[in-house]
């Protein structure tokens, strides 16, 4: 019979750890002797054995007890299974709902609750690029307080400053929608696909930072924010109404944020001050990553679901029909973009600014078409679907 001497160690000092470790070497039904000098050892050992499913037997020797190992601990893990492989290269398609919040690759005790994550299909949420994009996102996080030199001198004419404030107001409301959508989707994704969860979490954090820096720039001169149009809010509300993961990703990240990449480049080019230039450049790097995930995810899904392109087309057409009676881009935003590119109130400058905004719309359309072609649409389809995109940019 094997023997464990606990010396003066009591159960309230961790003696149970040594006893459990010791019994792992004993076969079920085998006996072990536990000895020690702690005053309550017998009482504590008896209670612990009852809770753990072992048999406790006192002996004639003071401070010595016999323990017969039970099979409760082994039975507890009978039929336990791994929550898939921990490697992203060997994902199961549909993780078991009872895996719940277990770490991918962990040994899962059977009998747990089935947590209702409805986005639990690899081919609905996954992109092979997700782990690398998350690593890039984590490394590229920036602090709004230090990444922008807020003390920089701003010498911007009043009308131009009001145009900047109006554009920043418009950007804030768009970023608010862009924060809500990934946050909603994140809560529905099965934790087995944790890389996608992490990426959506960082995406929401990105948008929170964008909202902060755009707001800080808007109020830098001490004035009020600009206007928010009904048409703009209706356009954003239509994004919130899409429950399908892939369709929401397509409308927001591929079409909407893809279009915003061109807008942010425009603002970088015509920024009248270094702070405006800095906040738009920082935001553009983040938005490019969001677009990359959206395209990679849809390319992955298209390889498994031949009906995807038809569903993407349907989503664009439905949204276009919903917004058919709304006006175009907020006129205050449009006029502000023209004035920003013009730089002054002269006929020649306004004409130049108007051409710059027309070219911006052209670049937005070309960018949407390129991304649609990557997703397998024909050239004619890409032209058609890009033209149906909301006139409110996002």
DSSP string, 281-349: HHHHHHHHHHHHHHHHHHHHHHHH-TTHHHHHHHHHHHHHHHTTTS-SS-HHHHHHHHHHHH-SSSHHH
* Structure confidence by residue, pLDDT tens digits, 217-261: 999 999 999 999 999 999 999 999 999 999 999 999 999 999 999
**Residue 278: per-residue pLDDT:** 98
Residue whose pair of structure tokens reads 């993961």 in the numeric block: 245
Using pLDDT thresholds of 50, 70 and 90, give the confidence band for residue 275. very high
Kindly report, residue by residue over 123-158, the tens digit of the pLDDT: 999 999 999 999 999 999 999 999 999 999 889 999
pLDDT of residue 315: 97
Instruction: Assign 63 a pLDDT band (cuts: 50, 70, 90).
Output: very high
pTM of the model: 0.87
Mean of the pLDDT values across residues 179-192?
A: 96
The encoded tokens of residue 335 equal 């006029």
> Which residue shows structure tokens 């003066």?
8
| Helix or strand run (H / E) with residue 34 | strand 31-35
DSSP single-letter state for residue 189:
B
Q: Which residues pair with 31 in a beta bridge?
A: 68
How much is the pLDDT for 37? 96
C-alpha dihedral over 269, 271, 273, 274, to 10 degrees?
-50
Cα gap 192→98, rounded to integer Å: 11
How distant, in Å, are the alpha carbons of 17, 137, 302 from that of 289? 48, 8, 20
pLDDT band (50, 70, 90) for residue 283: very high
At residue 53, the 3 state secondary structure works out as coil
Percent of the chain with pLDDT over 90: 93
pLDDT at 269 over 90: yes
- Residue 327 pLDDT > 80, yes or no? no
Considering the chain, what is the average pLDDT of its residues? 95
The pLDDT confidence band at residue 73, using thresholds 50, 70 and 90, is confident
- Is the pLDDT confidence value at 82 over 80? yes
């Amino acid at each position: 019979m094997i023997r464990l001497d606990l010396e003066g160690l009591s159960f309230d000092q961790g003696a149970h750890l040594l006893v459990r470790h010791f019994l792992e070497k004993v076969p079920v039904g085998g006996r072990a002797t536990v000895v020690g000098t702690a005053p309550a050892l017998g009482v504590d050992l008896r209670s612990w054995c009852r809770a753990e499913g072992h048999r406790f037997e006192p002996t004639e020797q003071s401070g010595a007890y016999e323990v017969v190992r039970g099979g409760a601990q082994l039975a507890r893990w009978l039929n336990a299974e791994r929550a898939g492989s921990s490697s992203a290269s060997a994902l199961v398609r549909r993780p078991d709902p009872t895996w719940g919040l277990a770490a991918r690759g962990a040994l899962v005790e059977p009998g747990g609750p089935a947590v209702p994550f409805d986005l639990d299909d690899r081919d609905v949420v996954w992109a092979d690029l997700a782990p690398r994009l998350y690593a890039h996102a984590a490394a590229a996080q920036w602090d709004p307080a230090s990444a922008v030199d807020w003390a920089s001198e701003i010498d911007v004419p009043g009308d131009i400053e009001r145009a900047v404030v109006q554009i920043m107001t418009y950007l804030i409301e768009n970023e608010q929608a862009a924060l809500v959508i990934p946050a909603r989707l994140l809560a529905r994704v099965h934790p087995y696909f944790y890389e996608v969860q992490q990426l959506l979490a960082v995406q929401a954090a990105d948008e929170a930072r964008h909202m902060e820096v755009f707001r800080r720039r808007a109020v830098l001169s001490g004035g009020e924010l600009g206007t928010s149009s009904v048409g703009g809010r209706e356009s954003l509300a239509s994004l919130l109404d899409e429950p399908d993961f892939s369709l929401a990703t397509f409308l927001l990240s591929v079409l909407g944020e893809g279009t915003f990449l061109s807008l942010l480049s425009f603002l970088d080019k015509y920024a009248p001050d270094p702070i405006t230039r800095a906040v738009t450049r920082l935001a553009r790097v983040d938005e490019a990553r969001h677009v990359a995930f959206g395209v990679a995810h849809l390319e992955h899904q298209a390889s498994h679901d031949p009906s995807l392109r038809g569903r993407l087309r349907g989503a664009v057409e439905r949204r276009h029909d919903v917004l058919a009676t709304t006006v175009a881009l907020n006129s205050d935003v449009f006029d502000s973009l023209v004035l920003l590119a013009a730089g002054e109130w002269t006929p020649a400058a306004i004409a130049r600014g108007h051409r710059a905004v027309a070219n911006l719309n052209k670049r937005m359309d070309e960018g949407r078409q390129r991304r649609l072609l990557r997703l397998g649409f024909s050239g004619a389809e890409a032209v058609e679907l890009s033209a149906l995109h909301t006139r409110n940019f996002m």
